C-alpha cells in the first residue's frame, strides 16, 4: 500500500510540474491543479500543504528529471560534449513536445519577485544545484581533453546554460528550423574554444 501511495504522489508531482512549467506558478489556479491531478483542493492541501508546497516538489522533480535526461544522453555517447550536443539537438528538435519553450528553472527564476521570497529562493537553489551537476560533467570533459583551454568547469557550465536558453527562445520564431543545426554547431565550437 505504501508503494501505491508513493507512486500516486510522484505521479501527481509530475503532472503538476508539467502544468506549472506550461503556465507558470501564478497563472496556475488551484482549479487547474485539481483538474490536472484529479484531486480535490482539500486533498492537495493535505498532501502538499499548499499550492506553493506542490510547486516546490514539482520544481525539485523537474530538476531531477533534467539531470536524468542528460544522464540518458551521456550513457549513449562517446563523450561528454557528444552527449550534451545530442541533448541540445533533442530539445531544439522536439520543442513542440515540451509544455513550454523555456526551461522550467529559467521560467521560475524570472517569475518570482521578492514578494515570493521562498519560491524565489527555491528556484535559485535548484538552478545552483543544476549548475553544480553541469560542473561535474564539464570537469569530466576537461579531464577527457574535450575542451581546448581548460577553463574552470563553472565557466563552461554557465556558457552552456546561456546558450541553451538562448537557442530555446530563438527557435520559438516561425521558420527558424533550418538554422538549428548550424547554430548548435556554432554553440559547441565556441564551447570547445572559450
**Domain map (residue ranges) of the chain:** 59-193
Question: What was the pLDDT predicted at 7?
Answer: 44
Sign of CA dihedral 23, 27, 31, 37: positive
Alpha carbon 57 to chain centroid, angstroms: 14
pLDDT for position 1: 43
pLDDT band at 194 (very low <50, low <70, confident <90, very high): confident
Please name the fold of domain 59-193. Tetracycline Repressor; domain 2 (1.10.357)
CA 171 vs CA 49, 154, 165, 184: distances in Å: 38, 26, 10, 11
pLDDT tens by residue, 100-137: 778 899 999 999 998 999 999 999 999 999 999 999 99
Strands (E), the chain: none
Instruction: Say if residues 76 and 87 touch (Cβ distance below 8 Å).
Output: no
> pTM for this structure?
0.88
C-alpha cell at 29: 489556479
What's residue 175's pLDDT? Answer: 79
* % the chain with pLDDT above 90: 73
Percent of the chain with pLDDT over 70: 95
pLDDT at residue number 94: 81
Percent helix, strand and coil across the chain, each to the nearest 5: 80, 0, 20
pLDDT tens digits, 26-83: 999 999 999 999 888 888 989 999 999 999 999 999 999 999 999 999 999 999 999 9
For the chain, the average pLDDT equals: 90
Amino acid at each position: 500500500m505504501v508503494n501505491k501511495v508513493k507512486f500516486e504522489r510522484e505521479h501527481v508531482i509530475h503532472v503538476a510540474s508539467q502544468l506549472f512549467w506550461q503556465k507558470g506558478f501564478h497563472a496556475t489556479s488551484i482549479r487547474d491543479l485539481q483538474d490536472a491531478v484529479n484531486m480535490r483542493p482539500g486533498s492537495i492541501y493535505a498532501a502538499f500543504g499548499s499550492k506553493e508546497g506542490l510547486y516546490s516538489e514539482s520544481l525539485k522533480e523537474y530538476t531531477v528529471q533534467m539531470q536524468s535526461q542528460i544522464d540518458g544522453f551521456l550513457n549513449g555517447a562517446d563523450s561528454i560534449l557528444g552527449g550534451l550536443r545530442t541533448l541540445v539537438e533533442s530539445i531544439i528538435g522536439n520543442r513542440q513536445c515540451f509544455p513550454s519553450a523555456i526551461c522550467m528553472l529559467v521560467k521560475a527564476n524570472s517569475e518570482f519577485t521578492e514578494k515570493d521570497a521562498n519560491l524565489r529562493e527555491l528556484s535559485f537553489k535548484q538552478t545552483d544545484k543544476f549548475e553544480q551537476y553541469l560542473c561535474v560533467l564539464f570537469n569530466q570533459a576537461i579531464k577527457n581533453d574535450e575542451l581546448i583551454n581548460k577553463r574552470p568547469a563553472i565557466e563552461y557550465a554557465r556558457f552552456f546554460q546561456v546558450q541553451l536558453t538562448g537557442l530555446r527562445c530563438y527557435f520559438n520564431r516561425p521558420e527558424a528550423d533550418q538554422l538549428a543545426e548550424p547554430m548548435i554547431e556554432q554553440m559547441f565550437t565556441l564551447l570547445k574554444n572559450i
